[in-house]
């Protein structure tokens, strides 16, 4: 099976052409830019290619609001989340969920622009700043802060299997658990409960290869995000699971169908 690497910055496709230029071509979408990802995926799907993950999955996972709505639709436990579209209503939403609360951009990764609001003064200052930013940041996605151990869980779903899981511990001076911010990865056992919830979340998004982020809340596991271009460079050494090899095997298997 031949594989070609394509840089999204070099991507060009004739949208006026009819039919696929490469019939039955399987494409693994790894572009971390949300907007490049969804637009190239849409164009490639229209040309007749099989994309992992598909446009619907990329569109939904790449926007935290859309992702939350889909998880709620499928009765998957999530943190309490409120949507506001103005400075005053955002502040009321924060007061509604209680302090501390978390304010996240609906599009973004690695925890960037996410803020932990510990009191009213902090909330007012952060929200006021967002009012002078790009309009996307004025979609206020306010989430309950889940009381949990200083870690979260990321699982990796390929096809119909949860192949690996890690605990992500936050750094000593950081509340976010992203390994890009100094968090550390440790292996986590894939229990039947963790497997079942991860598969449900992946299926809700229509994902074939996704990372599912979960937290251990007072009432049990909750899913707070599903990632359609999940990274695994810290997971492989922590778990010993050959995730890249398993992805290749999966792509070969669907190519042969």
Which residue, among 169, 171, 251, has the nearest Cα to 209 in the 3D structure?
A: 251
* Interval 98-142: pLDDT, tens: 999 999 999 988 788 899 999 999 999 999 999 998 888 999 999
Q: 17-26, 61-70, 125-134, 198-207: which range is least confident on average? A: 17-26
Integer Cα distance of 106 and 209 in angstroms: 21
Q: For the chain, which domains are there?
A: 81-144 (3.30.1490.20), 147-241 (3.30.470.20)
Q: Cα dist. 155→18, 29, 184, 221, 236 in Å?
A: 39, 19, 15, 12, 12
* Interval 29-50: pLDDT, tens: 999 999 999 999 999 999 889 9
Coil, strand or helix: which one is 180?
helix
Mean pLDDT of 168-172: 78
Own/partner contacts of 178-181, CB < 8 Å, gap of 24 or more, are: 178/110, 178/111, 179/234, 180/110, 180/111, 181/110, 181/111
The pTM of this model reads: 0.91
Which residue, among 194, 203, 209, 212, has the nearest Cα to 243 in the 3D structure?
A: 209
Q: What is the pLDDT of residue 181?
A: 53
Mean pLDDT of 167-187: 72
Q: 19-23, 177-181, 252-256: which range is least confident on average? A: 19-23
């Amino acid at each position: 099976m031949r594989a070609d690497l394509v840089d999204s910055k070099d991507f060009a496709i004739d949208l006026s052409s009819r039919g696929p230029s490469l019939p039955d071509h399987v494409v693994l979408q790894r572009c971390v830019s949300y907007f490049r990802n969804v637009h190239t995926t849409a164009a490639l799907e229209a040309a007749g290619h099989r994309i992992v993950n598909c446009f619907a999955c990329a569109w939904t996972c790449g926007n935290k609001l859309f992702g939350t709505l889909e998880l709620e639709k499928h009765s998957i436990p999530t943190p309490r989340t409120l949507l506001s579209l103005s400075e005053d209503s955002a502040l009321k939403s924060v007061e509604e969920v209680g302090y501390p609360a978390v304010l996240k951009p609906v599009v973004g990764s690695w925890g960037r622009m996410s803020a932990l609001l510990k009191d009213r003064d902090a909330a007012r200052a952060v929200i006021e700043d967002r009012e002078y930013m790009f309009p996307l940041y004025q979609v206020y996605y306010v989430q309950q802060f889940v009381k949990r151990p200083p870690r979260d869980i990321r699982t990796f779903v390929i096809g119909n299997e949860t192949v690996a899981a890690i605990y992500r511990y936050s750094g000593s001076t950081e509340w976010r658990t992203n390994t890009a911010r100094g968090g550390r990865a440790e292996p986590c056992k894939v229990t039947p409960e963790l497997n079942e919830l991860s598969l449900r979340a992946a299926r809700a998004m229509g994902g074939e290869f996704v990372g599912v982020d979960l937290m251990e809340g007072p009432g049990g596991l909750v899913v707070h995000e599903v990632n359609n271009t999940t990274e695994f460079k810290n997971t492989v050494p922590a778990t010993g699971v050959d995730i890249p090899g398993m992805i290749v095997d999966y792509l070969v298997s669907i190519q042969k169908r």
